[in-house]
Amino acid sequence: MASRRPSVLDSPVPGTLLGRRGSVLDSPISRRQSGTSSRRPSIDPSRLLPMDKASAIAGTNDFNVLFIGAGNIMFGSDEGPWNHSFRFEHKLGPRLKVVALIDPAIDRATAVLQKKCETFVRSAYENTRVFRTLEDFVKNMSRKDVPRAVIVGSPPMFRGTVQTGRDIELQILKFFPGVAMFIEKPAATGPSSEIEEAFTIAKRISDSGTLCSVGYMLRYLRAVQMMKQIINDNNLTVMATVARYACAYEAIAKPDWWDKSKSAGPVIEQGTHFCDLSRYFGGDVDMTTVSAHSLDWDENAGHLSKIVIDETAIPPENRIPRVTAATWKYESGAVGSFTHLVALQGHDYSCELEVYADGYQLKLVNPYVQPVLFIRRPGNDHEESHRFPDDDPFFSEISVLIDNIEDIEEDPETAQILSTFEDACKTYQLTWAIREASERNRARSLELKKEAGAAISE
């Protein structure tokens, strides 16, 4: 393998410990940008291997990783397939060394590490230290602890801004310039007034030349990349995207999820994946065109019979809508639509995305579990179907990140990261636009009803 890109491992640790180190920031950013710009903006589906068929990346040197967040997204839960640590273990094999786990919940962090140390991946975690904050880790680390990647799985309300305590991305840029980042979606869940702060962070990351991937893992589905391949190979222009996301609410037991003052609401926190996929095919959205309506908890059709949390403990103004339906125009002129429903019981979700172009209908079904792609082509009224058993987009996004960190600059076969921080901010902006449009229409409807009632009483 040709020489890797420069990294912080090539020089001393920054700050008060060992002085400022050299990094990619000390060399021309154009070198990195020229390397990645020649890479594929999409991925040949045949190169996306199931995790059990992918070999651990070659090499004998340790690959230091820093985990921020000891929750479900990092270590897994019964609620879904997410588990970043599991994917890193398979991608890096015995090279993986988790130098620290950052989480203010020390007991939880210690407990998950203990479980890891009782398994065959003990070597990755036996020397992992737990710290409440990133700054605590930096103050206590030595040169051998410098990470090559920082994985951020902390709740989105604690990141995505320039405010102290909610600026983990800026802290990483400060303490570890040039070190690659992986950050979970969405970009943040603060008030919409803070969206510009997220874009400020995006610019800082981009200007620094730092590799940064955001966890919109559905972009890495083999089915999604096959859709991209069809569009690219046939030089198609997308005319419309139609997305639907129906969640199984009976299985959602987190009170914060039902409180939009904490989670920002289901479109921003959950439906964001399908808004992102819509943008991935349709392009940038003209935000002035976003329109939306909602079915809310206090309307007759909004009654739910199997909510597992006590919704009466949530202030009425913070309770989430049951349905949100939105439409918009893309800057290309194409049209997009998205419907999110809190409607199903049981465990499985029901999700679909349709993409239309001249002569083509591409329909992605059940992307979270067993993706199926239905294709209708010109000259044929029948749909062909393609199934993708054992596809793991979580593993693919981690694999692409590691390949970019390890890779030779000149290799065009290495796929570029499919979701940058700036791109993630645009998805975040769209989801907020949908929420605000639906709330404006709800407020307008309530006001009209109030006026009508007053007129009748007169």
Instruction: List the domain range (segments joined by +) for residue 163.
Output: 8-218
**CA distances, 393 to each of 173, 225, 232, 358 (Å):** 27, 11, 21, 28
- The average pLDDT across 72-97 equals 91
Among 156, 185, 218, give the residue marking a domain's end: 218
Among 190, 218, 246, give the residue marking a domain's end: 218
- Whichever domain contains 15, its CATH number is 3.40.50.720
Domain shared by 230 and 213, yes or no = no
412 located within any domain: no
Tell me the angle at which helices 421-457 and 272-282 cross, rounded to the nearest 10 degrees.
Answer: 120
The whole-number pLDDT of residue 20 equals 42
Domain shared by 195 and 224, yes or no = no
| Domain count within the chain | 2
2 located within any domain: no
- C-alpha radius of gyration, the chain, whole number: 23
Residue 363 has φ and ψ, to the nearest 5°, of: -125, 115
- The average pLDDT across 152-167 equals 94
Residue with tokens 């998805």: 427
Domain shared by 323 and 296, yes or no = yes
The whole-number pLDDT of residue 14 equals 47
Per-residue pLDDT for 316 more than 70? Answer: yes
Domain shared by 278 and 154, yes or no = no
Domain shared by 104 and 139, yes or no = yes
**CA distances, 354 to each of 127, 220, 228, 251 (Å):** 47, 17, 13, 26
Q: Which of 279-293, 377-391, 397-411 has the lowest mean pLDDT?
A: 397-411
336 located within any domain: yes
Domain shared by 129 and 154, yes or no = yes
Domain shared by 138 and 164, yes or no = yes
406 located within any domain: no
- CA-CA distance, 91 to 457, in Å (whole number)? 69
The whole-model pTM stands at 0.89
Domain shared by 30 and 146, yes or no = yes
Domain shared by 385 and 239, yes or no = yes
Among 161, 186, 218, give the residue marking a domain's end: 218
- Whichever domain contains 379, its CATH number is 3.30.360.10
**Other beta carbons less than 10 A from residue 211's beta carbon:** 22
453 located within any domain: no
Domain shared by 298 and 252, yes or no = yes
Domain shared by 323 and 343, yes or no = yes
Domain shared by 150 and 16, yes or no = yes
pLDDT tens, position by position, 165-184: 999 999 999 999 999 999 99
The whole-number pLDDT of residue 443 equals 94
Q: Which strands form 129-131's sheet, in the order they lie side by side?
A: 129-131, 96-102, 63-68, 149-152, 180-183, 212-214
Per-residue pLDDT for 188 more than 50? Answer: yes
**Other beta carbons less than 10 A from residue 277's beta carbon:** 26
370 located within any domain: yes
69 located within any domain: yes
226 located within any domain: yes
Contact 177, 23 (CB under 8 A): yes
